[in-house]
Amino acid sequence: MPKIDAQYSYNFIDLFAGAGGLSEGFLQAGFKPVAHVEMNEFAAKTLETRSAYY
């Protein structure tokens, strides 16, 4: 999937995010994350680590 032109950039919210696999695809496609929602503390820590990477 080609990256999205910055002029037409979209945001996303990841509900029931898990470890962030779906978010990874959106990030690679050029979308900007607004929020991740996850109840599991271990998955949430993984999301924090992934967010620090970006």
Domain boundaries, the chain: 6-53
Mean predicted confidence (pLDDT) in 15-25:
92
Phi, psi of 18 (to 5 degrees): 60, -140
C-alpha–C-alpha distance, residues 42 and 4, integer Å? 31
Mean predicted confidence (pLDDT) in 20-25:
92
pTM of this structure: 0.73
More confident residue, 1 or 53: 53
* Average pLDDT score over the chain: 87
pLDDT in tens, 28-49: 999 999 999 999 999 999 999 9
DSSP string spanning 1-54? -PPPPGGG--EEEEET-TTSHHHHHHHHTT-EEEEEE---HHHHHHHHHHHHH-
